[in-house]
Amino acid sequence: MRSNLLVFWSICLTFAALMSLTEEINKRRTFGIVSHPDAGKTTLTEKLLLFGGAIQTAGAVKSNKIKKHATSDFMEIERQRGISVATSVMAFPYRDLQINILDTPGHKDFAEDTFRTLTAVDSVIVVIDVAKGVEEQTEKLVEVCRMRKTPIIVFINKLDREGKDSFDLLDEVETKLKLKVTPLTWPIGMGQDFQGVYSLYERKFIHFRPHGKQEGEEVHIVEDLNDARFSDIIGPRAHKRLGEDLETIHGVYPGFKREDYLEGRICPVFYGSAVNNFGVRELLDCFVEIAPTPLPRETEERKVLPEEVKMTGFVFKIHANMDPKHRDRIAFFRICSGKFERNTNYYHVRLGRQLRFSNPTSFMAARKEVVDEAYPGDVVGLYDSGNFKIGDALTEGENLHFKGIPRFSPEIFRFVNNADPSKFKQFAKGLEQLMDEGVAQLFTKEDSGRKIIGVVGALQFDVIQYRLEHEYGAACSYDPIQLHKALWIECSDPKELNEFTTRRKKDLAQDKDGKMVFLAESAWSLKLAQENFPKVKFHLSSEF
């Protein structure tokens, strides 16, 4: 009888834990915000935090007059240049839900960080400048989302300025981004004539007040579009134009269905002006209703479901020196299933050993606080002494390797020199930690011992130089080097490998992990090496 009672209580406790886990999962909304530089992405992030009550005042990203800066841009170089160069994670409660925002760099030179971040989100908001339309970097980022069938919402920003016709913009989104769109709000006027937006989703008109005076928004419920009172508010001409526009929308664009949005078949479109706090609340309110809860993740072994009791997750970003005062290094860890708990042993799959975390943190950009538990969809920061690499998995014992995390492949190379010999230790430590972030590769030449940095965009060189100086107290300089590709090599024939390394020593280097790399000066030199040493295999990724 006693054993039956124990079994019964064990089943009850397991069921209660499952119900609690399911409830927490259903509360989570984890999404990324992406765009071309200057489309207003970071400003939108700031206003979402403002509406969510996470901050009290919003800081301008670019402002010479105001000394407040965007919460999500916490690195000094970001504040000076007015651009985002690192992914920021921000979490806040809204309408009994837990919202996790990942604000990403827009600049193409930092695309690697953004590509990896997209593996950690369940949906995306794409910000488009009404005047510039769809730009090059937006196309590349949306292509990654489309390949993964990530649900996308488009926010067309800066309606308080003159820009492209709304229908022309929708055509551009469909043509360039290959997305099927359906407007859920529609602008009335533009620039100086901008009066507000009509919400097709909630059948209401939100009146725009210029100069950021959006507190206590003037909202009109519009049960009948032909209501004379509505015409009096916006004027007969704008009222007639809106009626014609809505007729076109209903005739040309499909109606909104949540299942189509979740499957990536349709893309809702919102209009507004983030800098004026306008249209952001409508976007956020609709988003929390329609956006997906945490989604399953693919591994090489199997599909991981969020509802699974055992904790799993992966590292998608490493940030060195997040707090210059403490020289800390933090791994950004996305929880995929189960419940993550503080001071619990978890299995590091690559290292094959247990790790325990006494102070996992949640983020509000640079502000962090220790969390006791976290759930699927959450991103926690794990203080790291060098155990983690991009893509590493933590589990409760199972060997899992998460798929789809892009590998960095350098395109531009320079010699890096220690400009101050008295600061050798600071230079070496800074270089090592910055390389661990995954946005640059470090190669050491076999013949001379000189160090080479490879990056995907030239602006990375400025960031590395700046951060070495301001965060590590070290100085570096660069020398040019002409290289076509860096390729990792393998060979099953020891004799041919020995001949290759002897004859091509001047073209060989080691990466940060001690793997052999061939530095091809040109496409022709690579082809020649492949022809002369057919048993040597050349790989564009270190993960071969």
515-528 pLDDT, tens digit each: 899 999 999 999 99
- Boundary (domain end) residue, out of 367, 395, 423: 395
- Boundary (domain end) residue, out of 395, 430, 460: 395
- Boundary (domain end) residue, out of 241, 272, 290: 290
Tell me the C-alpha distance between 247 and 231, whole Å. Answer: 17
Is 368 inside a domain boundary? yes
Selection from 391, 408, 352, 349 nearest residue 542 by Cα: 408
Residue 137 near residue 106, CB atoms below 8 Å: yes
The whole domain housing 492 covers 412-539
Q: Which domain CATH number covers 476?
A: 3.30.70.3280
Q: Which pLDDT does position 455 carry in this prediction?
A: 84
Selection from 302, 381, 390, 311 nearest residue 350 by Cα: 390
Q: What is the dihedral of CA 334, 335, 336, 341, to 10 degrees?
A: 170
Residue 7 near residue 15, CB atoms below 8 Å: no
Together in a domain, 329 and 193: no
Residue 357 near residue 375, CB atoms below 8 Å: no
Residue 46 near residue 72, CB atoms below 8 Å: yes
Amino acid at 455: V
Is 400 inside a domain boundary? no
Is 11 inside a domain boundary? no
Q: Which pLDDT does position 223 carry in this prediction?
A: 64
Together in a domain, 44 and 190: yes
Together in a domain, 390 and 508: no
Together in a domain, 197 and 270: yes
Together in a domain, 167 and 55: yes
Mark the ranges of the chain whose per-residue pLDDT is less than 70: 1-19, 52-88, 104-113, 210-223, 320-328, 364-368, 405-409, 543-544
| Total structural domains within the chain | 3
Q: Which pLDDT does position 146 carry in this prediction?
A: 82
Together in a domain, 362 and 494: no
Together in a domain, 116 and 169: yes
**Backbone CA torsion sign across 48, 367, 137, 538:** negative
Taking CA atoms, 527 is separated from 395, 484, 519, 524, in Å, by 43, 12, 12, 5
Together in a domain, 221 and 362: no
Taking CA atoms, 340 is separated from 382, 388, 392, in Å, by 12, 17, 16
Q: Which domain CATH number covers 283?
A: 3.40.50.300
Selection from 110, 68, 108 nearest residue 87 by Cα: 110
Is 16 inside a domain boundary? no
Together in a domain, 278 and 193: yes
* 193-220 tens-digit pLDDT: 888 888 888 888 888 876 555 454 566 6
Q: Which pLDDT does position 221 carry in this prediction?
A: 67
Together in a domain, 339 and 478: no
What φ, ψ does residue 93 adopt, rounded to 5°?
Answer: -85, 145
Neighbours of 369 (CB within 10 A): 10
Together in a domain, 326 and 345: yes
Q: Which pLDDT does position 328 carry in this prediction?
A: 65
Is 22 inside a domain boundary? no
Is 17 inside a domain boundary? no
Together in a domain, 390 and 425: no
